[in-house]
Amino acid sequence: MKTVLKKSITFIFTVLLVTFFVFIAFELIPGDAATARLGTNATPEALAKLREELGLTRPFFVRYFSWLASFFFGDMGTSYSYGVSVRSMLAQKLPITLTLTLMSFILTVAVSIPIGLLTSKYEDRAVSTVLDVTGQLTMSVPPFFLGILVTYIFGMILHMFTPGGFVSYNVNFVRFIGYLVFPAISIALPKAAMSTKLLKTSILSERNLDYVRSAYSRGNSTMDVLYKHVLKNAIIPVITFLGMTLADIVAGSLVIEQVFSIPGYGRLLISSIANRDYPVVQAIIAIIAMIVIIINLLVDILYRVLDPRLRDM
């Protein structure tokens, strides 16, 4: 309960800071929603009238706390650019970004844990060396560049998917999932390479401890020692890393959406920033911040469940 309480306070404080700095950023950046909508050739009278209609003439703190109070009651305001509810806009985009995030995370776990076990088991063999070199190369490639390579190889050469041919989940769910496989691979591979290296290092470190020798002395086989003893302890730092990875994937997927022309939160965020659509930008950033904090809270709880030594801390 102490951890949950601390994290809850951190949750509220972080969201407040994030939204506050977003508001300040838009105050400091030249231009506003009225200028973005009417253009630089608009008359001062027209700009003043639109600013009044949008509520931009109210004091900064009045606008901020008014939006904050409405946000926590589920009212995210109205988009300046589209004139519709921000909540309804985000509700349409959420399944896209959420599906991409979950697919990327599942691929990361599905690839990293088996390969991490394999490279640690056959540490001194050629297969481990090849996988280590491949992992180092994969880690060094940014996801957005990997996305470009995936698009070129699998889309333009092998024709396994049509670049830019996104199909919505409410039109054809199978084709929707099929299209997201390739951006999910672009996000997952660098993360999986990092997780693999961490798991291998953790397993090799655990194998030298006394309890492992004791397990062998009791007649346990190599496989029993690895899966029943070593992995249980070696996986703990990996789970922490995977939790941070999931939070990173939430943010990283916004960039990949641009590469693959996926109409999720990422494209909406970038277009809203360009149009000075404050309510949309503020809502997306606040939601992402909350998701990241919630993930960190769940990781901390899971960490204490797996490691009894931390339960009383």
For the chain, domain boundaries: 2-72, 92-310
In the numeric block, which tokens belong to residue 86? 């921000």
66-102 pLDDT tens trace: 888 888 888 888 888 788 888 898 888 889 999 999 9
Instruction: Give dist(CA 229, CA 231) in Å, integer.
Output: 6
Mean pLDDT of the chain: 83
Residue among 212, 206, 209 at smallest CA distance from 225: 212
Degrees (nearest 5) of the Cα angle 176, 180, 184?
160
Q: Look up the pTM and report it.
A: 0.82
Cα 280 to Cα 91, 130, 188, 295: the distances in Å are: 12, 46, 28, 23
Partners of 78 in the beta sheet?
85
Does residue 45 register a pLDDT over 60?
yes
Q: What is the pLDDT of residues 171-214, one digit of tens each?
A: 899 999 999 999 999 999 999 888 888 888 888 888 777 787 78
Looking up tokens 């606008």 gives 63
pLDDT in tens, 139-164: 888 888 888 999 999 988 988 888 88
d(CA 109, CA 242): 8
The CATH code that applies to domain 92-310 is 1.10.3720.10
Total Cβ atoms within 10 A of residue 205: 13
Euclidean distance between CA atoms 97 and 254, whole angstroms: 8
